[in-house]
Structure 1
Amino acid sequence: MTSSFSSLFSRPAWAGILACAAVLALLPILNLSFPAGHALHVSGYTVALVGKFMCYAMAALALDLVWGYTGILSLGHGVFFALGGYAHGMYLMRAIGHDGVYQSNLPDFMVFLDWKSYPWYWSFTDHFGFAMLLVVLAPGLLAFAFGFFAFRSRIKGVYFSIITQAMTFAFMLLFFRNNTGFGGNNGFTDFKRILGFTITAPATKAVLYLITLAALLGALLLCRWIVTSKLGRVLQAVRDSESRLMFIGYNPLWFKLFVWTLSAVLCGIAGALYVPQVGIINPSEMSPGNSIEMVIWAAVGGRGTLLGPIIGAFSVNGLKSWFTAAFPDLWLYALGAIFILVTLFLPQGILGLVDRFRKSKETA
């Protein structure tokens, strides 16, 4: 294990990461510095869209940690993403104060449903620090409890994938209910402020964007540090031959549980950053389809590479933004075709294609 950040990536990789980070960081600055109509102006829509993509990239990175390096295919990471979003959304809803339609201490949806007070699990969510703790605890505790029983029972492979999909579907149905206190099918929306700042102000949006960029880079460095350490080698041994690892004296349970819980927490943080930038969180974020899309992002970019899923999240969602505007009814067919083509012709994803091209030039 090395303590030097410079050794986590090769020099060309570091150059590419820093160049991309600099370009991304420049977007909100251009948005604030130049008026609309100026050649260098970047629209607020573009800033919000790229901010959303960075949240998706962080979720894909979290998934790659368990799938690409530990061999645990999750089809339920959408629930962790949404739980982080709901935890932050609870604070944002309480921060509305009396500015809602009904000018009540309670959120509008609670007034409409004739709630008289907050349920007990909303306690202390008016404090930002507690809400941020909840962002970590809600997905983390769920992942720990779920993973403990699943891994202890040695559930793996397609069976594990199926029960993770069942988990996210069950939570989606639960959150769709009006009597759970999470807004039903409408979820949380119409946020007004965060930490006293107007949430729709360009400067606030820029700060949220830059925090998201910093969180994505921090998550990338953390994951890279883990996979290049002795712990990372054990995780890859779990992926490649768990029975052999047990034979030489390791107990895979705690290694799998650690990486599974960490992945869920990172996904929850991504969801918490997503909500104030997009302006809404509802149960549809927990749909099994969203979790499957995360798998496609990782596969398209190149699983087991960390950088690949980030590239895949940006590529697929960029294509989705264009495709749903041009051919709104055909996107799901296109997404399925992308996954099939990548599986057949690019099993190592976009990064694998780049690596193959680089090696062919070196041997030429």
Structure 2
Amino acid sequence: MTKLKPWLPLIGIGVFAVLLLVVAPSVLSMHWLNNLGKYCCWAIAAVGIGLAWGRGGMLVLGQGVFFGLGAYAMAMHLTLEGTPAGSLPVFMILYDPSGSLPPFWEPFRSDAFTLAAIVVLPVIVAGVLGYALFKRRIKGAYFAILSQALAVALAVLISSTIRETGGDTGLSDFKYFFGFVLDDDANKVMVFMIAAALLIVCLLVVWQLNRSRFGELLIATRDAEERVRFLGYDPANIKLVAYVVAALMASIAGAMFVPIVGIITPAEIGASASILMIAGVALGGRASLFGPALGAMAIGWGQSSLGSSWPDGWVYILGLVFILVTLFLPMGLSSLFGKAKGLVWRSRAAPVEPAPVAAPELEEVNR
């Protein structure tokens, strides 16, 4: 029984994959399937946050930066895919009819370049940024503030470059996804399946990292960084790998978010969006495998359902849930399973008191 325990998460991932890839497309309407695809995108980013924050102790409040890098790379490609060669996107014509296409837009006409940018760009940015911060031993609240400041700076930069990025209006009205018409329901299901499959792959990657020697070193770095350094390992390199993996997952999430939702704006990558990702991870349980993904999906459902019908009250509900979880369940809802399991084991292991012996039987024993 003990030998099967390391494989239980793998069985859970298999069940989760069946629910997403088989059950959901067959029972959900197109509206809810599209919403579930959006939740899967947030869950992909949350899985990376769980690795960096839950296992590595790095409060990454600026994942909106990498989410935005992937999202805008995909959005520029989809915009150009629906624009005839030699013409400008519609929003550029509105702001400057006589202008030309910005040079950094042109490579995104290529499918291969776009996919490479979604993967390589966040790795480079996170690698340079993480190396600069971790080598200087910046951590804790300082690291969290710096990471969130970058998300705010990127959102402000995009808002101020109206002609190049659409500004606060963002990029929208996508018609094609690598040659497939996005208005076709069959293609919408295909895009959802890609997002769900990527979520499963990210869970498998984190599961493998957690059970590897790197996962042990990451936890050791979180709990006793100086001891890890004393043993001959560089904690900066260990944290850097986790940070880069989390950034890559956030970029992939942003790239899939664009064709599913159909729009990307600075509001989706700023400080509030980054905090929303953190809230989902905290709710589900940052140190568990499934907790971050399920928590992000729950927060996404709340934002879509309650946020649309009760936008003012939803913010207070989210704040209340975050406070209650922080106070009473600091390890998230996933810790309830561990507590329940501990209670069951303690009740089974409790010593059984011997039944009282009757007085005549005691006399026989004394004789």
**TM-score of the aligned structures, taking structure 1 as reference length:** 0.90
User: 1:10 is matched with which residue?
Assistant: 7
Contact 1:174 1:180 in 2 (8 A): no
2:121 paired with 1:138: yes
Contact 2:21 2:197 in 1 (8 A): no
2:277 paired with 1:294: yes
Contact 1:238 1:245 in 2 (8 A): yes
For the residue of structure 2 that corresponds to 1:73, the secondary structure is coil
- Give the C-alpha shift of residue 20 in structure 1: 2.8
2:85 paired with 1:92: no
For the residue of structure 1 that corresponds to 2:55, the secondary structure is coil
Measured against aligned partners, the alpha-carbon deviations of 1:74-113 in whole angstroms (never above 9, x if no partner) come to 1100111111010111110001124xxxx97211111112
- Which of 15, 19, 22 is the matching residue for 1:19? 15
Contact 1:172 1:287 in 2 (8 A): yes
2:251 paired with 1:256: no
User: 2:310 is matched with which residue?
Assistant: 327
- Give distance in 1, aligned partners of 2:22 and 2:233: 47
2:261 paired with 1:278: yes
- Which of 159, 168, 183 is the matching residue for 1:200? 183
- Give distance in 2, aligned partners of 1:356 and 1:8: 17
C-alpha change, 1:279 and 1:7, in structure 2 (3 Å) is farther
User: 1:62 is matched with which residue?
Assistant: 48
- Give distance in 2, aligned partners of 1:350 and 1:326: 26
- Give distance in 1, aligned partners of 2:253 and 2:152: 20
Largest Rg, 1 or 2: 2
Question: Which amino acid letter does the alignment assign opposite residue 148 of structure 1?
Answer: Y
Measured against aligned partners, the alpha-carbon deviations of 1:18-51 in whole angstroms (never above 9, x if no partner) come to 2332122235642xxxxxxxxx5x3211010000
Question: Which amino acid letter does the alignment assign opposite residue 50 of structure 2?
Answer: D
User: 2:358 is matched with which residue?
Assistant: none
C-alpha change, 1:19 and 1:49, in structure 2 (3 Å) is same
- Percent of aligned positions with the same letter in both sequences? 36
- Give distance in 1, aligned partners of 2:16 and 2:258: 24
2:213 paired with 1:230: yes
Measured against aligned partners, the alpha-carbon deviations of 1:303-348 in whole angstroms (never above 9, x if no partner) come to 1112110111122222222222342211111111111100111112
C-alpha change, 1:244 and 1:317, in structure 2 (3 Å) is same
- Give distance in 2, aligned partners of 1:157 and 1:258: 18
Question: Which amino acid letter does the alignment assign opposite residue 106 of structure 1?
Answer: L
C-alpha change, 1:142 and 1:7, in structure 2 (3 Å) is farther
Name stretches of at least 5 consecutive residues in structure 2 with no aligned partner.
348-367
Contact 2:123 2:244 in 1 (8 A): yes
Listed as ranges, the matches of 1:1-364 within 5 Å are 9-11=6-8, 13-26=9-22, 29-30=25-26, 42-98=28-84, 105-114=87-96, 116-179=99-162, 181-364=164-347
- Give distance in 1, aligned partners of 2:261 and 2:34: 7
For the residue of structure 1 that corresponds to 2:334, the secondary structure is helix
- Give distance in 1, aligned partners of 2:7 and 2:100: 56
Name stretches of at least 5 consecutive residues in structure 1 with no aligned partner.
1-5, 31-39
**TM-score of the aligned structures, taking structure 2 as reference length:** 0.89
Measured against aligned partners, the alpha-carbon deviations of 1:245-296 in whole angstroms (never above 9, x if no partner) come to 1122211222222221121011100110111000001111121111111111
For the residue of structure 2 that corresponds to 1:125, the secondary structure is helix
For the residue of structure 2 that corresponds to 1:56, the secondary structure is helix
Q: How many pairs are equivalent?
A: 344
Contact 2:25 2:33 in 1 (8 A): no
Question: Which amino acid letter does the alignment assign opposite residue 25 of structure 1?
Answer: L
Contact 1:67 1:73 in 2 (8 A): yes
- Give distance in 1, aligned partners of 2:111 and 2:171: 17
Runs of 4 or more, structure 1, over 4 Å off, are 6-9
- Give the C-alpha shift of residue 179 in structure 1: 4.9
User: 2:353 is matched with which residue?
Assistant: none
In terms of mean alpha carbon deviation, does 259-268 or 114-123 score higher?
114-123
- Give distance in 2, aligned partners of 1:21 and 1:338: 28
